Structure 1
């Protein structure tokens, strides 16, 4: 979808400046304005189990979590927030609590009495999703909006009266039928859905709210947030509400961290985001250091670009609101094709190639493809007018990259290069322009690599990548391939969409995800969603091929796309039945006898 060039989400794509927002109070914690970017998480205990919830909230607060979310799926669950809040405060903990609401306005009304913030999802707060296809006339559409106004306004009044905050949070894949039929399952539909609820809040002079636009696909998530911020700019200066960032169902382990860093990190780098939550299918406590590291690294000081009179004109060469790969020309380097529509290639250094030489033949899909020093890559400073002019006058395409030690972040340096270099020249992306000399901490190497390379890939920039921030040769390659996978750029293994546990979860998500991964991890390019409950089921799986969803305690429903095809399967049989379903749809292959290792 093409958008008007007047849409802007960021004052300058080539330097960092944080978006200016109004301040929203959540209890004693201020979001937006001049305040630090706040770190949130969500507990996994059953909301009716007061001691378990209190223990988990206190542990998260101790770990540095600044706002804690608790699910409140019905009025009965919401009522117990009174006890949870009382016990948390009695323990001397002042961390604000948020009630997560889906489907039940009466649960929201109850929860607002006891917690500092309410999260509503416009796609299912006042709508029953039937996945119906019908045309809505303008009158019918207005009638539906009036029904939503009647359902939502009492909550707005109550939050205003009790000084509660609210998050208006849409999720890709859980939009209402009315929005779906007019806008489709698109970033634009996500934005319009949230703006409808925001207008109702504003009609009642209520402004203590934040927005979110979450998706499990980082490309969709990035586009949706950019479009939201651009739409808020269009609405006017008093629509400067803070933004909560998150990638839903990011998964676990390395993949979950990489996907979160691509989605959250790239938006933070553009100055968007006032509070974040990293969603991992792990104990919630593990989310906090990842979120803190993303916040810490989001604003890296950089040198001035230089005096404007000596610089090329930097004009954006892509539409930041819709993904399209930069149209480079194909090249063959060391027998590998790159550029154009060829795979984005994985480079390594000569030193690392030498360290891995004895096992490259057995590294399967994860092997290094091209040695940087022998690739003929041209390092070019995009601020050097003469060098750019010389490059663009060449008749043949050249592989280009930026030099190290430029004083710019990789995102800004490579965007600049893409803006001034003729598109036919393919670009080699680097995760860092200040490669470390000694050993590195893996998390501190993984997050910036995913943020920098992933963000550029989601902008359509990049035909090859080189990871140097991680100094272990095998791990740097694994990281490179996992970033390509998470950005949807090059699929070489099974893709998992797994939600974080919460109080709605009907089975052990972590153990089940590992079990499914063990059985299906060799299915290249198949996308499997593992969802704890029906709330995160058919909608939020969005673009998965198959779904494994908690339908009732110890009972699983299996999906093909968004359609449930098997119901109430005993949990003990469900993984086998999932495999049968994959076989029925001709997506199954037997696992190889041994998998290549990148240790």
Structure 2
């Protein structure tokens, strides 16, 4: 199926969706983006659930969600709603229901919105078994879905309750995976089955989400569903989020990367940042992401005449170069211009460790550093280069490369002895003259800068103009910030650069900030952005749920312990999940998993297979380490 891009690629403009009324809020249409979170209390504990809701609302949250496991939870929603109203909190509440359509029917009478998951609305938990479905059998299964969904729709209509069709990459049904695999296409079709029923029933109070813990999958899934909905004349608002983003700086960067990539395209009407922390701490992060996209309306950049770009699939831009730049993964440039001299401690901050007479690179060793001094009191690591804006009196020096302005390059490009030169370029500088020269010079690394208010679109357009002229030079994405707070810088940088990395653009990143000159901080932000987009894996990938009322252990504490003991296992993905309801599915691409099974009990997974069941929580992390060692995946620090 050929997909069209119905949203703007080169101009910031909110994609037009239907307005959906949810209590006293409107999601979609011309309404502001709504911020929401999810309580992690036991829903039937009304007192605790009300208290946490107030905490989230006081932090700036505009909507909250509760998990509904039992009928007791569903019935408790009525009391929660009454208690919140009594205290002046009239913001919408949402019921989150899995595996039990009857609970959704009950909850729909008490709340402003119900979230259901197409992967388990009537299906049991996926066993990842492939079955053959004839068209007749397939349609029979669809009729079962329609019967139960129509029942819920009628209740929603009677009670003016909205519905979220919330598909998760990790919890597709065996039926969908049997035909489409655990793919973006499967996510889209699982969602569309439900949306077609809603449309058939003339039920428009619907919000859509297609989440994943994999940022590339998440971004691609949303882009695909928007195009497919547009083709079928559907315009439901979008709820954005990266599932199991984790905690700390990495969790914030991962969330900003996925959500920011879509907001850059004008997609998204409500967002939830999923952190394995107190839910109220999600709201400031969400606010920062939204604020970053304020005042961008109608900011447009130059559009290429020939768009060679497919936003609906995951691919990597091809480069051809005679420079020394890495081609297997994006490089990292650290800005050291503030240093009057460079010492061993400065090299260590870039990810290297001194060992006798040489530097040993860590997994997170930066390949380049921009310097504004020639006073270097140590030798450079093997494979590392210093970058200078002048060429040291025009003489090549070992492990250095010159950075040239466009004007300087036009004067020097014929000097063949410059094996590698880095050239600052912006979109408006990619003239016919420059294109002609670059086509004859494969010794150039382009430093792509932008001052455009919609910078990501501007840099995206540059890559498309390069493709239009068949330019295959490596490109370093450079962004400049003036944030005094490192977390704010990280959120902005992730939102700006991740969209390009997820599209396969960029052979390196370079972040600058005059207020944050600590190389270790910028180093961490840079590598976490690459990790979040899976452009370059340099540490363990942790898939950790934010927890909800189903979680019966201190997941924040456990996650920190697991991270502390396994963060050096860069070749692994490890899941830390709150419960068996969604945990195994949501961490489906993890190599190992720690999943809450019952009170003080944990089950461990190797891939999708449960291998140790109901072990005491007190011993569970040790058991996880033992499991990794038993399977030969352990590496000593």
- TM-score normalised per structure 1: 0.92
Determine the C-alpha separation between the residues in 2 that align with 1:133 and 1:531.
25
Show the counterpart of 2:83.
87
**Deviation string, structure 1 residues 276-316 (Cα, Å, up to 9, x no partner):** 0000000001100000111111245389657xxxx773433
Answer yes or no: is 1:568 the counterpart of 2:559. no
Query: If you compute each CA radius of gyration, which structure gives the higher value, 1 or 2?
Result: 2
Deviation at residue 576 of structure 1 after TM alignment: 0.9
Matched-pair contact (CA < 8 Å) for 1:330–1:338: no
Show the counterpart of 2:528.
482
Determine the C-alpha separation between the residues in 1 that align with 2:219 and 2:248.
22
Matched-pair contact (CA < 8 Å) for 1:251–1:500: yes
Show the counterpart of 2:475.
427
Show the counterpart of 1:277.
272
Deviation at residue 472 of structure 1 after TM alignment: 2.9
Answer yes or no: is 1:295 the counterpart of 2:325. no
Determine the C-alpha separation between the residues in 2 that align with 1:569 and 1:82.
36
Show the counterpart of 2:334.
348
Answer yes or no: is 1:63 the counterpart of 2:59. yes
Answer yes or no: is 1:329 the counterpart of 2:320. yes
Deviation at residue 31 of structure 1 after TM alignment: 0.5
Determine the C-alpha separation between the residues in 1 that align with 2:545 and 2:333.
32
Show the counterpart of 1:370.
368
Matched-pair contact (CA < 8 Å) for 2:163–2:206: yes
Alignment of 1:49-448 (within 5 A): 49-128=45-124, 129-236=126-233, 239-301=234-296, 313-333=304-324, 337-339=325-327, 342-351=328-337, 357-362=343-348, 363-364=351-352, 365=362, 366-372=364-370, 373-374=387-388, 375=401, 376-384=421-429, 385-405=431-451, 407-421=452-466, 422-432=470-480, 435-436=481-482, 440-448=484-492
Residues 338 and 115 (structure 1 numbering): CA distance in 2 closer, same or farther, change over 3 Å? Answer: same
- Name which of structure 1's ranges 575-584 and 241-250 shifts more when overlaid on structure 2: 575-584
SS of the residue corresponding to residue 61 of structure 2 reads coil
Determine the C-alpha separation between the residues in 2 that align with 1:545 and 1:356.
41
Residues 102 and 302 (structure 1 numbering): CA distance in 2 closer, same or farther, change over 3 Å? Answer: closer
- Structure 1 gaps of 5+ residues are 592-599
**Deviation string, structure 1 residues 68-87 (Cα, Å, up to 9, x no partner):** 10111122211111111111
Show the counterpart of 2:391.
none
Deviation at residue 367 of structure 1 after TM alignment: 3.9
Show the counterpart of 1:596.
none
Deviation at residue 443 of structure 1 after TM alignment: 2.1
- Structure 2 gaps of 5+ residues are 353-361, 371-386, 389-400, 402-420
Matched-pair contact (CA < 8 Å) for 1:168–1:211: yes
Residues 196 and 388 (structure 1 numbering): CA distance in 2 closer, same or farther, change over 3 Å? Answer: farther
Matched-pair contact (CA < 8 Å) for 1:329–1:397: no
Residues 264 and 403 (structure 1 numbering): CA distance in 2 closer, same or farther, change over 3 Å? Answer: closer
Residues 570 and 412 (structure 1 numbering): CA distance in 2 closer, same or farther, change over 3 Å? Answer: same
Determine the C-alpha separation between the residues in 2 that align with 1:312 and 1:234.
24
Show the counterpart of 1:24.
20
Deviation at residue 330 of structure 1 after TM alignment: 3.9
- Name which of structure 1's ranges 254-263 and 361-370 shifts more when overlaid on structure 2: 361-370
- Name which of structure 1's ranges 357-366 and 126-135 shifts more when overlaid on structure 2: 357-366
Matched-pair contact (CA < 8 Å) for 2:323–2:444: no
- Name which of structure 1's ranges 257-266 and 128-137 shifts more when overlaid on structure 2: 128-137
Determine the C-alpha separation between the residues in 2 that align with 1:89 and 1:293.
28
- Name which of structure 1's ranges 253-262 and 420-429 shifts more when overlaid on structure 2: 420-429
Show the counterpart of 1:7.
4
Deviation at residue 48 of structure 1 after TM alignment: 1.2
Determine the C-alpha separation between the residues in 2 that align with 1:471 and 1:495.
27
SS of the residue corresponding to residue 36 of structure 2 reads strand
Q: 1:458 aligns with which of 502, 511, 520?
A: 502
Answer yes or no: is 1:38 the counterpart of 2:52. no
Determine the C-alpha separation between the residues in 1 that align with 2:109 and 2:275.
29
**Deviation string, structure 1 residues 241-270 (Cα, Å, up to 9, x no partner):** 100000000000001001001100110111
**Deviation string, structure 1 residues 461-483 (Cα, Å, up to 9, x no partner):** 00011011454322111110111
SS of the residue corresponding to residue 506 of structure 1 reads coil
Q: 1:516 aligns with which of 556, 562, 580?
A: 562
Residues 495 and 36 (structure 1 numbering): CA distance in 2 closer, same or farther, change over 3 Å? Answer: same
Residues 63 and 387 (structure 1 numbering): CA distance in 2 closer, same or farther, change over 3 Å? Answer: farther
Show the counterpart of 2:628.
582
Determine the C-alpha separation between the residues in 1 that align with 2:620 and 2:346.
38
Matched-pair contact (CA < 8 Å) for 1:353–1:368: no
Matched-pair contact (CA < 8 Å) for 1:397–1:426: no
SS of the residue corresponding to residue 428 of structure 2 reads coil
Residues 516 and 358 (structure 1 numbering): CA distance in 2 closer, same or farther, change over 3 Å? Answer: same
Determine the C-alpha separation between the residues in 2 that align with 1:187 and 1:157.
30
